[in-house]
Amino acid sequence: MVIDDDQHDGNECGQTLAVIDRFRGPEPRLMAALAVAVLVLDVVTKQLMLDWIFATPQVVAISSFLNFAPVWNPGISFGMLAESGDLVKMGLTALAFVVAGWFFWQSRFFDRAQQLAGGFIAGGAIGNAIDRLRFGKVVDFIDVHVQSWHWPAFNVADAAITIGVIFWIYSQFFGQGTDEA
């Protein structure tokens, strides 16, 4: 396609280049690499569990405090909003992509802890959003327990989001702060 310079002013091109430039540099690459690593690990582990413990529902004891147990989570973290309608669930799915996009958009202003936080949160949020799009619910399988008390089941994406939130909180208290975020 040939673009006639007489039809477009330089401002449009400059604005487009400014948007593209926001995603160049080490900050977005670090976040993207971490987000992709989290996403791949999440998708692979969920598929392994779907083939193993979900196919013929079974609980597999890994240690005295850890099981792999098949749990379909129709809500969000710890089963919250499980009874909400499809509109809320689709809204939460869309929100996951918006939050991930915001982290990438702002990444060049983040300190290292915030970049790590963004990568963990974005990868985890997208991993669970993919489940909601594929199944209408999230695949959870990690069951941590002490005797008969069980923590709500979770997955790699949930763990990554939790780690990301810890990095984000750390950055707020001990980090360099941000320029614009």
Contact 7, 93 (CB under 8 A): no
Please pick, among 42, 131, 140, 143, the residue that the annotation labels catalytic.
Answer: 140
The answer to whether 9 is a known catalytic residue is no
**Do the domain assignments include residue 95?**
yes
pTM: 0.82
The answer to whether 131 is a known catalytic residue is no
CB-neighbour burial class of residue 10 (10 A; exposed 0-12, middle 13-18, buried 19+): exposed
**Within the chain, what is the greatest distance between any pair of CA atoms?**
74
- Per the structure, the count of domains in the chain is 1
**Do the domain assignments include residue 57?**
yes
**Do the domain assignments include residue 68?**
yes
Q: Burial letters for 93-123: b for 16+ Cβ neighbours within 10 Å, e otherwise? A: beebeebbeebbebbbebbebbbbbbbbbbb
Tens digit of pLDDT at every position of the chain (181 positions): 444 444 445 556 555 544 445 556 667 899 999 999 999 999 999 999 999 999 999 999 999 999 999 999 987 766 666 667 778 778 889 999 999 999 999 999 999 999 999 999 999 999 999 999 999 999 999 999 999 999 999 999 999 999 999 999 999 999 765 555 4
Q: What domain range is 75 assigned to? A: 25-174
**Do the domain assignments include residue 71?**
yes
Please pick, among 42, 131, 143, 158, the residue that the annotation labels catalytic.
Answer: 158
**Do the domain assignments include residue 125?**
yes
